[in-house]
Amino acid sequence: MILGTICCRGGSKGVLGKNTRLLNGMPLLTYTINAAQQSKYLNDLIVSSDSQEILDISKNNGVAITFVRPDDLSTDTASKWPVFIHAIEKYEKLTGKTVRYIVDMDVTVPLKTTQDIDNAIVLALQSPEIDVVITGYEPERNPYFNMMEINNSGFAEMVKKTETPIVRRQDAPKVFSLTPAAYVIKKEALYQYQHWSEAKCMISEMPRERAIDIDTELDFKLIEFLLNDK
């Protein structure tokens, strides 16, 4: 039983009302709903939110099960981990079904495809040792080559140091920037760990142009450009 979850709030500080904001005439939320509904592996899809508008849009786009998230899980400081646990337990109580995996898909990555979601699921199912699979992409910056941090003495130094300085980006170890297009999480891991970073994780790589996460107005404008620049 693989449960797709879309857990999004009504509030947003970076981009006001972004989850329901129109993107090329469609609420941002609907892009993720459409991609999830075409998945070959998701057995069901739910939406959890503190916003009635989000729940109404979800129902109008074919999501049968929606429910209101508790107030203590709806603040901008709340962790997603307990939100996932609440979603699973609420779903199992409503349906009587037992969930094995959840696949949480963030609506702020609207250019992800169904294939991106399914690739992450396939990777998670390859081994029982895998607790979490997260989508990611190779970023423009690499901590071994061109990223620095300020040390205790106030000077800048490489984030990741090597015995011999790396002078070509191609020689730096490959790193990934995470994107919340899809998080595939084994149910047991939600109760075994306090955070996904403690679990046994794998990365499902996806193209940079589909991995853009909307955090700012600039991100929104960039995605609008990409959608219209066919």
**Whole-number pLDDT of residue 80:** 84
Distances (CA, A) of 196 to 19, 89, 95, 135, 145: 24, 18, 26, 13, 27
Whose structure tokens read 């941090």?
149
Looking at residue 183, its pLDDT comes to 96
pLDDT tens for the chain, 230 residues long, are: 999 999 988 766 667 688 999 999 999 999 999 999 999 999 999 999 988 999 999 999 999 999 888 776 666 666 788 889 999 999 999 999 999 999 999 999 999 999 999 999 999 999 999 999 999 999 989 999 999 999 999 999 999 988 888 888 888 889 999 999 999 999 999 999 988 889 999 999 999 999 999 989 999 999 999 988 86
Q: Is 52 exposed, middle or buried (0-12, 13-18, 19+ CB in 10 A)?
A: exposed
What 8-state DSSP symbol labels residue 206? Answer: -
Q: Which fold has domain 2-133+178-228?
A: Spore Coat Polysaccharide Biosynthesis Protein SpsA; Chain A (3.90.550)
Query: Taking the CA of residue 40 as centre, how many other CA atoms within 13 Å lie in the half-sphere pointing to its CB?
Result: 7
Q: What is the pLDDT of residue 69?
A: 83
Tokens for 18, please give them: 């972004």
Query: What is the Cα–Cα distance from 116 to 122, expressed in whole angstroms?
Result: 10
Q: What are phi and psi of 213, to 5 degrees?
A: -105, 125
Structure token digits, residue 178: 């995470």
Domain ranges of the chain: 2-133+178-228, 140-175
pLDDT tens per residue, range 56-84: 999 999 999 998 887 766 666 667 888 89
